[in-house]
Amino acid sequence: MSTTPRLHGGNAPIYDIRELPLNLTANVPDGVLWRDGDDTYSSRFNSKNTWSNIRKKKDQVMWSRLIWFQQGVPRFAFITWLAVRDRLSTGHRTAQWGQAQYCLYCGKPDETRDHLFFACPYIFTLWLKVTGNLFGMDPDPDWDTTITRLLTGHYDRLTFILLRLVLQVTVYYIWRERNERLHNHVSKPVEHIARLVDKTVRNRITSTRYYLRPRLQGLMQRWFGAHDT
């Protein structure tokens, strides 16, 4: 039996359903099956497999391990994810709607992602303070250089956890403070934000119960050691 597409007017190929072979087993009742994988079916619904079947799959991006890691915190990860994709509504992006814009920290005319993280001289002072010696060299004010260093540098496990954590917490507080300055016209000094970042990272380290986990032993000491100046 042929299953060659038939052309019904125009160029649209349409299979004639009556010509498709259908093997019915007379004694088995009809039932509904859920597609489980490419060629597998199951009578039970599995949300994970179903989602995996219908979602659009893309290659994992290089920077994903900077965003999602076990010791991360979703609300910090989310803002950092937006920053990495340059999707934060910075002045530079909202300027297309005709709004005047400038950096709310230093007053420079163009508020871009790269200026906020971490080229702005005020913010870079904060970045130097909170990273301490974690990079093993002086931090760079350039965003791309920072991300490349994080992805390609050779860091021990504890240092790499802390670098990702301090990146995310800092991006979060810089963005939050920027919004406070923009919408509520109140501003905290940069030293105050640095203390907030430090406290938040320490709280997160404590909540990992690092002292009970062999792979995380020394996490807090590493954080303190990085800021021993």
Give the footprint of Zn ion on this chain (CB under 5 A).
Answer: 103, 105-106, 108, 120
Question: Rounded to an integer, what distance in angstroms lies between the CA atom of residue 96 and that of residue 150?
Answer: 32
Residue placing its CB nearer to Zn ion in the complex, 72 or 141: 141
Q: Are the CB atoms for 153 and 185 separated by under 8 Å?
A: no
C-beta of 32: minimal distance to Zn ion in Å?
A: 59
C-beta of 175: minimal distance to Zn ion in Å?
A: 13
Residue placing its CB nearer to Zn ion in the complex, 92 or 222: 92
Question: Rounded to an integer, what distance in angstroms lies between the CA atom of residue 225 and that of residue 132?
Answer: 9
Helix (H) or strand (E) holding 74: helix 74-84
Tokens of 86: 């340059």
**Burial environment of residue 204 by CB neighbours within 10 A (0 to 12, 13 to 18, 19 or more):** buried
Report, in angstroms and rounded to the nearest whole number, the Rg of the chain calculated over CA atoms: 27
C-beta of 115: minimal distance to Zn ion in Å?
A: 6
Residue placing its CB nearer to Zn ion in the complex, 126 or 196: 126
Helix (H) or strand (E) holding 13: strand 13-14
C-beta of 122: minimal distance to Zn ion in Å?
A: 6
Residue placing its CB nearer to Zn ion in the complex, 90 or 159: 90
Q: Are the CB atoms for 81 and 172 separated by under 8 Å?
A: no
For residue 13, list its beta bridge partners: 7
C-beta of 153: minimal distance to Zn ion in Å?
A: 26
